[in-house]
Amino acid sequence: MNKTVELQDLGLRDYKDTWDYQEALFKSIVDAKIKNRREALNLATHNYFLFVEHPHVYTLGKSGDMSNLLVDETELSKKGATFYKVNRGGDITYHGPGQIVGYPILDLDNFFTDIHKYLRFLEEMIILTLAEYGLKAERSPGETGVWLDVGTPFARKICAMGVRASRWVTMHGFALNVNADLGYFDHMIPCGIRGKAVTSLHVELGQKEVNIEDVKEKLLKHFTILFEAGMTLKESVS
């Protein structure tokens, strides 16, 4: 089993370009697994973890309801935003500058073959990271992601999640609001859940801006512990 994960920080990158890149990495792992099985090989498969920020974009998952996007194409264009239907689970979400988006593309055969455990570990990574900033983040029963003040009238989501898995290979992932412009969430019903607010780390801490690189460092620390993974860094990504 190969528990080494290659980290790639893509910086600010177009959503569709990144999606295509994810698909290519995902396919390379699946193809390697198929070849291993067909030719009775036992070659190691690769694992990747992508960090990225996207320009303003709304994405709708396979089970999503288009009515949860509250603006039309013209309004989206005026706001400098794009829209895509995607092949992850979940409903509608927003990505934009000031948000850490993480795409683990893992062969879970290298770790554990349990998609629910995988999601819980991603949530735990976020919860432990936010605890380092003095925030008590939680899971909300029946609602994937990470929340604050669950079970109160002030419940608010700080991290959305949606994944796809095939042959135990994962793609898509999480979106953690760090310095996000929360006004963009007003143009949708976040994750299709009415009456729940959205927040960002800088708002919760009462800061103008949180150092996003520090947050990434903490996320990776908890990821490597939870998944018992080793991390290598790809220095530059075209």
For residue 182, count other CB atoms closer than 10 A to its CB.
Answer: 17
14 occurs within a structural domain: no
State whether the Cα torsion 30-21-224-162 is positive or negative. negative
Give me the catalytic one of 191, 201, 215, 229.
191
Residue 119's pLDDT is what? 95
Strand ranges across the sheet with 92-95: 82-85, 57-60, 92-95
Query: In the chain, how many domains are there?
Result: 1
233 occurs within a structural domain: no
25 occurs within a structural domain: no
Q: Binding site residues, as ranges?
A: 88-95, 160-162, 173-175
Give percent of the chain with pLDDT exceeding 70.
Answer: 96
Classified as helix, coil or strand, 230 is strand
Q: What is the CATH number of the domain that holds 187?
A: 3.30.930.10
Q: Binding site residues for substrate, as ranges?
A: 88-95, 160-162, 173-175
Classified as helix, coil or strand, 104 is strand
**pLDDT 10s digits, 28-60:** 999 999 999 999 998 999 999 999 999 999 988
Is the CB of residue 8 less than 8 Å from the CB of residue 235?
no
Classified as helix, coil or strand, 82 is strand
**pLDDT 10s digits, 103-143:** 999 999 999 999 999 999 999 999 999 999 999 999 998 88
30 occurs within a structural domain: no
To the query of whether residue 159 is one of the catalytic residues in this protein, the response is no
140 occurs within a structural domain: yes
Residues of the domain holding 133 = 54-99+112-226
